[in-house]
Each structure stands twice: as structure tokens, then as C-alpha cells.
Amino acid sequence: MLKRLKGLLFIGIGYMLSPLSWWNDLFFNLPIAYLFGYLVSWIFPDFFLPATIAGYWLSNVLGILMMQMGATDIFFAHKPQNFKQDLLIGLGSSTAYTFLILGLLYFHILEIPAFLAVN
């Protein structure tokens, strides 16, 4: 029972960090990304923007991984866990999702909002 509660907590927090909850990027992912960029810019001052982008991507990946781990705890509690395999599957699916979105943007199936477009 305790493992299932931990799974529910992981799914909830992971959902808030994942790209599935685009509406609360303002409250979770963007502050985390900004903090990551700020911390990296202490060491490498010119890397604030790239580190912020990387921090945003990492927070989304963390959300997907947490959701996967939580779902595994809930639905497969009786089976032994292979953390390395689960991590590789989560990273692979997150990377595939990122490339899918980049492809949709590249082929103009999705459009970048006007306020983000660089002129």
C-alpha cells in the first residue's frame, strides 16, 4: 500500500513537471529552468540562456520519468524493478517526444507563438 501511495505522489509531481501540464510551466518548469540557468551562469557567464533551455528540458524529462516510476509502482508493484532499464526507457521516450515536437515545428505542423518568434 505504501508503495502505491509513493507511486501516486510521483505521478502527481511528475505530471506537474511534465510537458503534459503545459499550463503550469509558469509555476514549476520555468522557475526551475531559470534557477538552473542562473546557477550555471555563476560558473559560465555566457551560458545563461542555453542552460535555462537545458534546465527546462531536464525538468520536463524529470516529470516524465517520475510519472513512469509512479505508474510502475502502482501497476507493477508485485514485479521486481529494474531501475537502469526503467531509466533508459524513460530517457528514450522523453528524447523521442522532444524530437517529435521539434519535427512538428520544423515542418510547420505546429507554429511557434508570435511572442516567441525571433525576427
Contact 14, 63 (CB under 8 A): yes
pTM of the full predicted structure? 0.74
Asked if the model's pLDDT at residue 36 lies above 80, the reply is: yes
More confident: 9 or 114:
9
Structure confidence at residue 57 as a pLDDT band (50, 70, 90): confident
As to burial, measured by CB atoms within 10 angstroms (0-12 exposed, 13-18 middle, 19+ buried), residue 48 is middle
What value does the mean pLDDT take over residues 25-36?
A: 90
Q: Which residues contact 1 (CB under 8 A, 6 or more apart)?
A: none
C-alpha cell at 43: 560558473
Structure confidence at residue 12 as a pLDDT band (50, 70, 90): very high
- Of these ranges, 74-83, 98-107, 108-117, the one predicted with the greatest mean pLDDT is 98-107
Residue 117 is predicted with a pLDDT of 66
Asked if the model's pLDDT at residue 37 lies above 90, the reply is: yes
